[in-house]
């Protein structure tokens, strides 16, 4: 045993210093033999790095394994690519697997998107779901459907496409990416959500329809102290391309979390869009300062609608505590003020950067969130006035159909449109080193993203995805996607038991929360909800 331990110690010592020793020998040989002196230009810098690693005191691995420890970092940098292209199966990758990305790439490029030899999915696994088709498919389904957004209190309703670009700010995405997305939206007739970073010059570059998202930082309509500025809001909200206003309460990837864009990253262009000074920290508090109760919130939304000239005003949130959603509904019932739409973001949603604890463990997944929002609005009789949008990892016509079946009126996608721009899921969004120029402010990296080409890819992906939805609606024998109901969706409980979605989740009947809340699964949440506060009562 002692001999074996001694051998291992010697082998480890050899492995630690064999590369620096070999470099030293090669350098000496190159310097001594004139025909090989060119080799010293390679070995001397590497030897200098090895010597520096040996004497530096910040990194243990580099100090113990000069030079060769750096290969660990190299492998870490290339790991996402090796894993995605060489190791993972077509269905293993996260957040999006190879098959999902390949579908988006094919549709955005106008390439063949059919699949041979049958499904690769395990149809007996607990993750499998399906949509029920009909023996009598629809013969003459419309080629396009749109969703009318705007309650009775809205004087300028908007006709929304069934798939739109989810909220992604300039700053998190590059200028070229924003311009390409807007060009695609203009070409395809769908909307482009600005994200909470304000309306930049790039959002207006091609005249695509915009949904202006207002976060807690009120970028683009804020006073010096960060509070809401009604005059500045009215000026920007009445712009020709702004079609709707969206008040962001939370987002799926980091719900309940504010943010800070350091002043060092606030360029002239970002400062212009956000209404701050160059070099000034951009602070997004966790909560809004314009309101503190559900009643104040809906009254503020009504004010925004008036200031915008009657355009639809909606909310965006990742559902957290159920009683808060019901408090919002009670506030609308008590005041008679309704918002025009609600975007439900799922806990599986993406962002440029977020604490991993929040991304992994905080926020309700989109399915449960959409079902709860649908149940609250239907159960309180508010649904005829308020549309629901689903946002969270949708990328296909089947995903759109599932969302309709759960209660959504349309869907938004973020990362799917990033893939259409050329994103390769390198997981470097937060480093400013995006290799495809999508999520970076580095001009040299943005150069690779050609706006005219990628704009067409964005429009093509959206068009073909809606075509996929239409094919599903036809196969199901329905006249429009809003006819898809929970009983049309099959869900597997385990390998030997399956049933329709309405047997796994309870879907409320109209008005039941007003007439008989104790008969519902939300009785305790309904009792704890108050229009006067977001806290439990």
Can you give the CATH number for the domain in which 322 is found? 3.20.20.70
**Torsion-angle region of 511 (φ positive above 0: left; ψ -120 to 50: alpha; else: beta):** left
Measure Cα distances from 323 to 215, 315, 320, 365 in Å.
22, 16, 9, 17
pTM: predicted TM-score of the whole model, two decimal places: 0.90
Q: Is residue 141 part of a domain?
A: no
Residue 307 located in a structural domain: yes
In a domain, 198, yes or no: yes
Residue 4's pLDDT is what? 55
Q: Which of 87, 114, 136 is the last residue of a domain?
A: 87
Q: Residue 217: inside a domain, yes or no?
A: yes
Per-residue model confidence as pLDDT tens digits over 252-275: 888 888 777 777 778 888 889 888
User: 307 and 387: one domain?
Assistant: yes
Residues 406 and 258 in one domain: yes
Residue 125 lies in a domain: no
**Residue 338: inside a domain:** yes
Task: Dump pLDDT digits (tens) for 166-218.
Answer: 999 998 899 999 999 999 999 999 999 999 999 999 999 999 999 999 999 99
- Together in a domain, 323 and 450: yes
- How many Å apart are CA 233 and CA 221, to the nearest integer? 5
- Domain enclosing residue 56, as ranges: 13-87
Q: How many residues does the chain have?
A: 537
Indicate if 152 and 82 belong to the same structural domain: no
Residues 164 and 50 occupy one common structural domain: no
For position 12, what pLDDT does the model report? 61
Whole-number Å distance between alpha carbons of 417 and 461: 8
Are residues 182 and 268 both part of a single domain?
yes
Give me the number of domains the chain comprises.
2
Q: Which of 68, 87, 106 is the last residue of a domain?
A: 87
Q: Is 128 part of any domain?
A: no
Q: Is residue 22 part of a domain?
A: yes
Which of 58, 87, 116 is the endpoint of a domain? Answer: 87
| Low-confidence residues of the chain: pLDDT under 70 | 1-15
């Amino acid at each position: 045993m002692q001999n074996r331990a001694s051998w291992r110690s010697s082998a480890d010592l050899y492995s630690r210093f064999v590369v620096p020793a070999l470099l030293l020998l090669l350098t000496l040989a190159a310097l001594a033999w004139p025909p090989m002196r060119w080799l010293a230009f390679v070995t001397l810098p590497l030897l200098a790095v090895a010597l520096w690693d040996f004497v530096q005191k910040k990194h243990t691995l580099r100090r113990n394994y000069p030079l060769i420890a750096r290969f660990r970092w190299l492998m870490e940098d290339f790991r996402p690519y090796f894993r995605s292209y060489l190791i993972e199966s077509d269905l293993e990758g996260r957040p999006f697997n190879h098959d999902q990305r390949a579908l988006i790439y094919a549709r955005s490029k106008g390439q063949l998107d059919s699949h041979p030899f049958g499904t690769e999915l395990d149809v007996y696994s607990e993750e499998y779901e399906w949509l029920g088709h009909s023996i009598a498919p629809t013969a003459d389904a419309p080629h396009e459907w749109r969703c009318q957004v705007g309650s009775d209190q809205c004087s300028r309703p908007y006709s929304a496409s069934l798939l739109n670009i989810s909220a992604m700010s300039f700053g998190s995405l590059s200028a070229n990416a924003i311009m390409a997305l807007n060009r695609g939206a203009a070409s395809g007739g769908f909307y482009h959500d600005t994200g909470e970073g304000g309306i930049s010059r790039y959002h207006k570059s091609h005249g695509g329809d915009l949904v202006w998202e207002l976060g807690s930082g009120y970028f683009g309509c804020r006073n010096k102290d960060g509070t809401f500025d009604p005059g500045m809001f009215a000026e920007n909200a009445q712009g020709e391309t702004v079609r709707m206003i969206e008040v962001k309460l939370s987002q799926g990837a980091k719900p309940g979390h504010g943010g800070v864009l350091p002043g060092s990253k606030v360029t002239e262009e970002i400062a212009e869009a956000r209404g701050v000074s160059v070099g000034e920290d951009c602070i997004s508090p966790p909560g809004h300062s314009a309101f503190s109760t559900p009643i104040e919130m809906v009254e503020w939304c009504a004010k925004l609608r008036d200031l915008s000239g009657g355009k639809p005003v909606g909310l965006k949130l990742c559902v957290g505590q159920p009683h808060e959603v019901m408090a919002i509904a009670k506030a609308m019932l008590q005041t008679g003020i309704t918002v025009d739409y609600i975007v439900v973001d799922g806990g599986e949603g993406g962002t440029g950067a977020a604490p991993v604890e929040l991304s992994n463990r905080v926020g309700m997944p989109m399915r449960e969130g959409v079902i709860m929002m649908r149940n609250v609005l239907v159960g309180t009789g508010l649904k005829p006035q308020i549309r629901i949008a689903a946002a969270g990892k949708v990328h296909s016509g089947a995903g759109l159909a599932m969302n309709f079946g759960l209660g959504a009126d349309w869907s938004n996608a973020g990362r799917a449109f990033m893939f259409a721009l050329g994103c390769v899921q390198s997981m470097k969004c937060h480093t400013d080193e995006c290799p495809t120029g999508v999520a970076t402010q580095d001009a040299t990296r943005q150069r690779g993203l050609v706006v005219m080409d990628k704009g067409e890819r964005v429009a093509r992906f959206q068009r073909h995805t809606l075509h996929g939805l239409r094919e599903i609606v036809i196969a199901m024998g329905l006249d429009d996607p809003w006819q898809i109901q929970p009983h049309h969706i099959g869900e597997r409980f385990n390998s030997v038991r399956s049933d329709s979605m309405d047997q796994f989740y309870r879907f409320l009947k109209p008005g039941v929360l007003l007439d008989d809340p104790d008969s519902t699964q939300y009785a305790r949440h309904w009792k704890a909800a108050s229009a006067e506060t977001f806290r439990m009562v």
